[in-house]
Amino acid sequence: MINQKNFTVSDIGSLDITFYLSDSLGQFNPRVFPPHSHDVFEIYFLISGNVSFMVENNVYKLNNGDVIISRPNEVHNCILNEKSVHKHACLWINTSTDFLFSKLTNKNVTHLSTTNEEREKLIKLFNDLNQEKDDFSIFATTINILKLLYSANQGDSSSCCVPNVLKQILLYINEKFKTIQNVKEVLDKFYISKTSLIRLFKKHLHTTPKLYLETKKLAYSRILLKHGESVLDACFLSGFSDYSNYIRLFRKRFNITPGKYRTKDVTF
């Protein structure tokens, strides 16, 4: 069950907290969740399961107790590698201040590894968070989760068996997605066949080059919309060449039109 609390903390600023704790003991078949992005911070905590996690151009193989932090509009997705009980928790934070959230904003920190003691404390804190009723208790428990993460060790920062050519392609897309019109430009840049490129993305990222590029463009367009750009400008500045196709993709991906997203207080 997903719970959401929106409140303002005096002298700190606005703080929106959404949290989820899985309670299913059933086994899930291998599955690749679609690459996506939020315009908030996401903290993913793996309690149990055989899971990898992609954030931007890295794929991390997780151990039980590991934590992944993805930042606003970073492309990410969860990968269930084999049939297993996938117990996990998620915490989404939208804040107007960097106070107490410096580790979230540090882009060098994505993968955290916890000790058995820290893991048990995190499980208890997420259970507490799931049961809290008043704003102060939710805020205090969230701060305790963050304090614990601040003391956790950084996990393996290397990609999980991602070949160097794919790393270079991802870096190129992440830097140039606003001007890349189609996947053919990537093929020409790296002298690679379409079949080979698709195979690399499918094998290591469990997605397609086209979907990855679209996700980057859509994520950036959301930033532009929230900063007051018109729908038309957001479309072309984020690298789409077809206005109608942009609106269709945006609505399909986020279940809202870019025009409504621009004017409403929407975080997901």
- Same domain? 149 vs 192: no
What domain count does the chain have? Answer: 2
pLDDT given for residue 229 in this prediction: 94
pLDDT given for residue 268 in this prediction: 46
Distance of CA 19 to the CA centre of its chain: 14
Rounded Cα distance between 263 and 53, Å, is: 32
- Same domain? 44 vs 90: yes
Tens-digit pLDDT string for the chain (268 aa): 455 555 555 445 567 888 888 877 778 887 878 788 887 889 999 999 999 898 887 888 899 999 999 988 888 888 888 888 889 999 998 876 565 666 666 667 789 999 999 999 999 999 988 887 777 888 889 889 988 988 888 876 555 667 889 889 988 998 899 999 999 999 999 999 999 999 998 888 778 999 989 988 998 998 899 889 999 999 999 999 999 999 999 999 888 999 999 887 554 4
Structure tokens at 24: 């299913």
Give the residue carrying structure tokens 């993968």. 111
- Same domain? 8 vs 129: yes
Rounded Cα distance between 38 and 72, Å, is: 6
Provide φ and ψ at 26, rounded to 5°. -75, 155
| DSSP type of residue 63 | P
- Same domain? 123 vs 214: no
- Same domain? 127 vs 197: no
- Same domain? 140 vs 26: yes
- Same domain? 99 vs 208: no
Give the Å distances, CA to CA, from 6 to 44, 88, 109. Answer: 20, 23, 26
Instruction: Decide: residue 89, CB within 10 A, 0-12 exposed, 13-18 middle, 19+ buried.
Output: buried
pLDDT given for residue 226 in this prediction: 86
Which residues 6+ apart lie within 8 Å of 233 measured at CB? 224
Rounded Cα distance between 7 and 93, Å, is: 11
Range of the domain at 219: 164-263
Pairing of strands 31-32, 111-113: unpaired
> Helix, strand or coil for residue 223?
helix
The DSSP bridge partners found for residue 95 are 15
